[in-house]
Amino acid sequence: FQWNLWQNNSVMACAKHWLAYGFPQSGRDYAPVDISPRTLFEVCLPPFKACVDAGVMTFMSAFNDLNGVPASGHPDMLRKYLQETWKFQGFVVSDWKSVEQLVAQGVAEDGRAAARIAFNAGVDMDMIDGLYNRYLGELVAAGQVDEKSIDEAVTRILRVKYSLGLFDDPYKYLDAERERTTLHAPKIVDAALD
């Protein structure tokens, strides 16, 4: 594993939104996506594959569904392509409450089912809705989520945090002096305003 982003001016990239987020019906946000396999494989997937090849560390699963399967609950696209076929080493984070969105999309009857579906599909980290915190323990106890899969997801997340140097200095990005003298230096602010 060769990521090293320990410098305090490093940036971690997140490829988003996985997958086909830019192809919604009628151009509406969160709308379903219905595209051919050819468009998927020749247009949608190549830029994401380039991200993997360039060493991107995270992917963000989308709100939309892809040909009837929600992106945050799509094991073929999350597990098969990212992890198995492309050997993606980073982690997948849900979009803002996209795990909970699985209920609205009609594939999960409640938050517990949404957590099970998303995690088993390949979403490693649940952003903001708290469903993983609330339900993954009991889903493991019930045999609906494999504990080994939890360990693997945690390993992916911790590997990225290590690559950022967060175990060495968890507050390295919170340097008030650097922010004042470097990030908000007058020449930088002036250039941004220009």
Mode of pairing for the β-strands spanning 91-94 and 65-66: unpaired
Report d(CA 76, CA 108) in Å as an integer: 18
| The two structure tokens encoding residue 139 | 């889903």
Active-site annotation holds for 95: yes
Best CA proximity match to 104, nearest among 73, 132, 142, 139: 73
Distances (CA, A) of 5 to 47, 161, 168: 23, 9, 12
Partnered with residue 65 across adjacent β-strands are 70
* H helix or E strand, kind and range, residue 93: strand 91-94
How many CA atoms are closer than 13 Å to the CA of 90, on its beta-carbon side? 22
Report d(CA 19, CA 37) in Å as an integer: 13
Report d(CA 37, CA 125) in Å as an integer: 28
Give the active site residue among 29, 65, 76, 95. 95
Catalytic positions are: 95
